């Protein structure tokens, strides 16, 4: 961007990642408009941030995938961070429930941004799911980077025999490709940056009223802390703290040189749920003898290039220990007060 934005639209602003993005934008003095499916959640976020009441407002958009729904929301906006995307493994029709909604959500926000002619950059939350190739095996050792794409075809993604887990990977790939195609073909007034994070953990900033409302990744960690056995098995050993990911979004927005790039932000340290269990037991007296003691081998046959994002976006990744401790401390207090 040639000049710094003053007013940013954040989609999915009341979600796990989006709320942290909102907080980091506010702390830097920017005005934020949050798009949410629930205005009540937006109002709860404003109420919890009285210091920023004059900088933060929300618009309710029930169906993010419908063309035209963002046209009012982008009025007066000069940048967008698009976090919202459908996520479910409970599908009957992968194309209708996962892939088309993800693609249409991206097209809807980009179309509105293009029509506004005031938007100068759009940062899009993609996923490591758009990067990884589950059939690629080591040796030799290899490193995933922002140049890699999963090899799924559209036909494979929508096949009725394809699991929702694989279809989700397709949805992230084809939604992100739709964004790059949009910018290439229509040459709008803005450029884009995409981020492809792996598993994301960390303390919550979005409005929830009970532990049952935790996002999926954090719920898995909390279940480990509560003694779940057998322990879940990580599909990949890569992860990032949500606060680092939120910072990556904001830096991708504010740094002009990030325009047109695709980043894979991720901590250099690998994780497993047995490592999480050990961290909990070693650091919380109430967890002694409670968590499952299992040994899980962490796959070190390949890696991710989180260093490029760290260097170009100024990130300093948190340790897995800090992330687990901060989340478990927060949720334990929430449980105690409920």
DSSP single-letter state for residue 270: -
The C-alpha atoms of residue 236 and residue 267 are separated, in whole angstroms, by 13
- Ordered domains of the chain (ranges, CATH): 7-337 (3.40.50.720)
The C-alpha atoms of residue 245 and residue 306 are separated, in whole angstroms, by 11
> pTM for the whole thing?
0.95
Q: Please name which of 98, 102, 108, 103 lies closest in space to residue 35, comparing C-alpha atoms.
A: 108
| Helix ranges, the chain (H) | 16-27, 39-47, 94, 100-116, 154-158, 164-186, 216-225, 242-254, 273-283, 307-313, 320-337
In tens digits, the chain (338 residues) has pLDDT values of 557 889 999 999 999 999 999 999 999 999 999 999 999 999 999 999 999 999 999 999 988 888 899 999 999 999 999 998 766 556 678 888 889 999 999 999 999 999 999 999 999 999 999 999 988 888 899 999 999 999 999 999 998 888 888 888 999 999 999 999 999 999 999 999 999 999 999 999 998 888 888 999 999 999 999 999 999 999 899 999 999 999 999 999 999 999 999 999 999 999 999 999 999 999 999 999 999 999 999 999 999 999 999 999 999 999 999 999 999 999 999 887 55
Contact by Cβ (8 Å): 207, 48: yes
Q: With b meaning 16 or more CB within 10 Å and e meaning fewer, what string describes 265-282? A: bbbebbbbbbbbbbbbbe
Q: With b meaning 16 or more CB within 10 Å and e meaning fewer, what string describes 9-27? A: bbbbbbbbbbbbbbbbbbe
Contact by Cβ (8 Å): 112, 72: no
Strand 191-195 and strand 121-125: the pairing is: parallel
- The model's pLDDT over 11-51, given as tens digits with 9 standing for 90+, comes to 999 999 999 999 999 999 999 999 999 999 999 999 999 99
Strand 191-195 and strand 239-241: the pairing is: unpaired
Q: What are phi and psi of 267, to 5 degrees?
A: -65, 150
């Amino acid at each position: 961007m040639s000049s710094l934005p003053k007013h940013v639209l954040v989609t999915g602003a009341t979600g796990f990642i989006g709320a942290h993005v909102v907080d980091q934008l506010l702390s830097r003095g920017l005005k934020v408009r949050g798009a949410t499916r629930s205005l009540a959640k937006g109002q709860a976020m404003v109420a919890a941030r009285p210091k920023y009441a004059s900088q933060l407002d929300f618009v309710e958009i029930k169906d993010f995938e419908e063309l035209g729904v963002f046209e009012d929301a982008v009025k007066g906006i000069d940048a967008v961070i698009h976090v919202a995307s459908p996520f479910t493994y409970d599908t009957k029709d992968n194309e209708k429930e996962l892939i088309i909604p993800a693609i249409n959500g991206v097209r809807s926000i980009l179309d509105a941004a293009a029509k506004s002619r005031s938007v100068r950059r759009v940062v899009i939350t993609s996923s490591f799911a758009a990067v990884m190739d589950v059939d690629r095996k080591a040796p030799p050792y290899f490193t995933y980077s922002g140049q890699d794409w999963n090899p799924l075809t559209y036909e494979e993604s929508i096949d009725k025999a394809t699991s929702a887990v694989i279809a989700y990977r397709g949805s992230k790939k084809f939604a992100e490709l739709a964004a790059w195609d949009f910018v290439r073909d229509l040459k709008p007034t803005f450029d884009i940056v995409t981020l492809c994070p792996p598993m994301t953990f960390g303390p919550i900033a979005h409005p929830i009223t009970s532990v049952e409302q935790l996002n999926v990744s954090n719920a898995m960690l909390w279940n480990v802390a509560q003694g779940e056995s057998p322990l879940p098995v990580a599909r990949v050993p890569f992860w990032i703290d949500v606060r680092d990911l939120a910072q990556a979004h904001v830096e991708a927005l504010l740094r002009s040189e990030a325009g047109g790039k695709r980043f894979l932000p991720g901590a250099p340290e690998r994780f497993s749920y047995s490592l999480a269990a050990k961290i909990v037991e070693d650091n919380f007296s109430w967890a002694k003898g409670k968590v499952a003691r299992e040994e899980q081998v962490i796959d070190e046959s390949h890696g991710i290039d989180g260093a490029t994002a760290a260097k170009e976006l100024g990130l300093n990744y948190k340790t897995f220990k800090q992330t687990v401790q901060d989340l478990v401390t927060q949720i334990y207090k929430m449980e105690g007060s409920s």
